[in-house]
Structure 1
Amino acid sequence: MSAALEFLYRVLGLLALALAIRVVVDVWLEIPYSILLILVGVGISIHPIEIGLRLSHDVIMSLVLPLILFNGAIELNRRLLHDNIVVPLVLVVVGIPLAVALLGAATAAVFGLPVLIALLLAGIVVPTDPIAVLSLFEEIDAPERLSVIIDSESLFNDGVAVVIVNVLLVLIAERPTLTGSSEIATTVVLDLFVVGVGGFLIGAVLGYTATQFMRRVPERMAILLSTVLVAYGSYVLATSVVGVSGILATVGAGLFVETTPSEGIKIDPDILEFVRDTWEGGAFLLSTLVYVLIGAQVPIDSLVRRLEYILVAAVLVLLVRAVVVYSLVGIMNVIATPKTPPSYQHMLVWGGLHTVVPIALALGLPAGLPRRDFIQAVVFGVAVTGALVQGLLMPTVLRVTGIRERASRVGTLDRTE
């Protein structure tokens, strides 16, 4: 069998497995589809079963994330995002650095890690993945405002966390001893602003330019190709040419390329729907494979040896997430409107799983990095623990918070909370 046929054979096998899981979820189980995929992958890792496919840092960052993030950006309700932008922005701009500082301090104290290594671990593990909770939101027709807040926060925090991690890796390589917390904080903030904002602006310009082009070429395949070029082109231009955040460039491109029918967009609505459906299908297929492979690559032996550390780390991650969300959103409820109700805050905390981006960052750590194996084990462990505990209990949390019942009563957009 040729290498190409063997690769196709393995991919088809994983997709067949995913199809069976999808049917089981839809018919019998009330478990997020992506969570069950990870757990099945973990089962493959335990046996172990050789599936012949593996994820790498470059594959996730350069191939997977641009597709998933661009699709997430074009699916956002722009009006709702505009009306509720304060919450996700504060949770990203203030919340991510605060979470890294708090979790870094906690892991340095509990695990005895050097400060920079502890901050690096925190920076890797804090990005959230909303896919599991959003899939349940779609099934129960949950308030779209809550979905927009969770989804937009995730889109932005991935890019911000990647910038922080890259800055910390440079500091560790160039300054193995801590020269001053203020110096480190200044370096991180400056790089975060230049690299993060620069990447977003590049994507925004390319997205706006693509929209102007799409208005003049009203042919659906040409428009679809334009969106593919702007999604991946913004990532490549920002990362390889300019040296800024490719992830935030892709998010910016997705937010500024127009794929939703409106009065100012003179493009056939059917064409725009075709483009959105194509992106949604591609993101679904790719994320399906990724979640199985994440589970299949879990280093079981390493996790078992460090189980106590992993459980403590998982608790610390959840506690820090709770402190950041409740404190920042509480402050915003005092000084800004609309208010974010407690049920939404609970879902922001519980729905913050840490899977795709943290694992990609952990896989990309340089070979000579101190405590590299420990960091990778903790990151994989937190991902699996979150899938087992937070993911499996997600339906229960939706019921306890009243979101499921409220959605079933209203069935429409909740604009009052």
Structure 2
Amino acid sequence: METNLIENANSWIESILILLLAGVLVWILASKLKKPYTIFLVILGLLIGLLNFPFFNKIAYMFSDHQFFSVIVLSFFLPSLLGEAAIKLEFKDLNKFKGEIARLALFGTFLTFIIIALVLTYLCHLPFVVSLTIASLMCATDPISVMGILKVMKAKKSIAISLEGESLFNDGIAVVLFKISTVYIISFMNKGLFGALGASFILFLKIVFIGLIVGLVLGFIASYLISLVDDYPLETMVSFLLFYGSYLIAEIFHGSGVIAVVIGGIVFGNYGKKIGMNENTKNYMYSFWDIISFISNTILFLLIGIEVYRLNLFSNWKLTLFSILITLMARTIAVYISLFKAKSFTSTEKFLINWGGLKGALSISLALTLPHNFPYYKSIVLIVFVNVVFSLLVQGLSISSLIAKIKKQTI
């Protein structure tokens, strides 16, 4: 038994090292071509998956065939990715564009969720719970993918802040909607339609509120702790404990771990930096989280591509393709209504914000947490996978030309 444990551990380590090596090579190529490396990782993963290399199939099986890995993704990778992005967000920038971010992250996310759920239920005739589940997965946007493109292309700050702020808070809301759709909504059905909606809304507020409080409290505690010392390895460890601790504590109290991480990261990155960080500490901490983010992104985005070998891409292909159109339509309606009165953006910039709502690792990770006996499980995973790949390759690769067009208009 001990030998099997050692062999399994060695297999995991070997797989992770190979994925990281591939990530380094892709990062070098992407930096030379001035393209976001996450998209190149997905392309490489797709090539590996389509060519059906046995060794890489084994890696994909090890990572995604085990139910517990999705939990690891949500509790290990997600806090680091969200925390790394949140800690770098300047509060003054968030405050300046708070209206746009709030409308996109709250109203826009809800509207996208509702439109997708209704269309899938009444046009595609899917069960209501299945429609809600797919809608919750499709209304999540990925800050990592789009920010990589915006940084490379040096996009206008108002667009970058609005998209990143929306994505961070949107992720928290999407995870809460996913929990309600898959776990709680069935138990609310005996209350009737309006009773179920009312109970779901109250539960939503409760989950968000708990995450918000946990993030605020731990963010301020972590900020105070680093003000007592001037030791950048120790202060970086405090940030590590903040991100993972806030996520786990919020989840223990049935709140949103994602929102707790985002709020705690923003507090720590602004108030903590003001009272307890010198420039050397800030640079070291940012570098540390850049490395953790690189490791997490490499594993997740390569696996998104490699996973193609496990999917029957031609099963339910009409519904899968239609889901892309539904998602694009819902996103477009939500963004344009949310930003209808926003005078800070031109029509082209609004379209960029709409087109920049990329899907990413969070949607796939959440889909893989569903039990295999969940209704339409294989169809849900396929729909999510195809939508994520479409958004990364089609939308992601075309965003740079949109940004270039906007720059020409402003000259």
- The one of 29, 45, 49 aligned to 1:45: 49
Letter in 1 for 2:45: G
- The one of 346, 354, 359 aligned to 1:354: 359
CA contact 1:203–1:250 (8 Å) conserved in 2: yes
* Shift in Å, 1:94: 1.6
Report the secondary structure of 2:318's partner residue.
helix
TM-score, normalised on structure 2?
0.90
* Shift in Å, 1:2: 4.0
Indicate how the Cα distance of structure 1 residues 314 and 236 shifts in structure 2: closer, same or farther if over 3 A, else same: same
1:281 paired to 2:286: no
Residue equivalent to 2:233:
221
1:255 paired to 2:266: yes
Indicate how the Cα distance of structure 1 residues 345 and 181 shifts in structure 2: closer, same or farther if over 3 A, else same: farther
The answer for unaligned runs of 5 or more in structure 1 is 410-417
- The one of 39, 63, 74 aligned to 1:35: 39
Alpha-carbon separation, structure 1, partners of 2:276 and 2:22: 42
Letter in 2 for 1:219: D
Alpha-carbon separation, structure 2, partners of 1:373 and 1:352: 24
1:183 paired to 2:195: yes
- The one of 50, 63, 75 aligned to 1:54: 63
CA contact 1:322–1:349 (8 Å) conserved in 2: yes
Q: Could you tell which deviates more after superposition, 205-214 or 13-22?
A: 13-22
Deviations 1:145-173 (A, max 9, x none): 22111111111111111111111223454
1:206 paired to 2:215: no
1:77 paired to 2:81: no
Letter in 2 for 1:54: F
Report the count of equivalent residues: 397
Report the aligned-residue RMSD.
2.2
Alpha-carbon separation, structure 2, partners of 1:281 and 1:404: 34
Letter in 2 for 1:283: S
Deviations 1:57-98 (A, max 9, x none): 202210011000001101112211111111111222222221
* Shift in Å, 1:142: 1.8
Letter in 2 for 1:278: F
Indicate how the Cα distance of structure 1 residues 243 and 266 shifts in structure 2: closer, same or farther if over 3 A, else same: closer
* Shift in Å, 1:15: 1.8
1:160 paired to 2:189: no
1:141 paired to 2:154: yes
Letter in 1 for 2:318: E
Deviations 1:346-387 (A, max 9, x none): 122111111211111110112332212211111111111222
CA contact 2:142–2:361 (8 Å) conserved in 1: yes
1:294 paired to 2:298: no
* Shift in Å, 1:237: 0.7
CA contact 1:37–1:288 (8 Å) conserved in 2: yes
- The one of 256, 259, 273 aligned to 1:245: 256
Deviations 1:173-221 (A, max 9, x none): 435x686432232122211111012102211110111101100111111
Alpha-carbon separation, structure 2, partners of 1:259 and 1:278: 18
Residue equivalent to 2:331:
321
* Shift in Å, 1:32: 2.7
1:341 paired to 2:353: no
Alpha-carbon separation, structure 1, partners of 2:281 and 2:128: 52
1:13 paired to 2:15: no
Alpha-carbon separation, structure 1, partners of 2:219 and 2:102: 20
Indicate how the Cα distance of structure 1 residues 63 and 403 shifts in structure 2: closer, same or farther if over 3 A, else same: farther
Residue equivalent to 2:113:
100
Letter in 2 for 1:292: L
TM-score, normalised on structure 1?
0.89
Structure with greater helix share of residues: 2
CA contact 2:153–2:403 (8 Å) conserved in 1: no
Report the secondary structure of 2:63's partner residue.
coil
Alpha-carbon separation, structure 2, partners of 1:304 and 1:396: 31
Deviations 1:372-413 (A, max 9, x none): 22111111111112223112222222233x14775xx6xxxx
Letter in 1 for 2:261: T
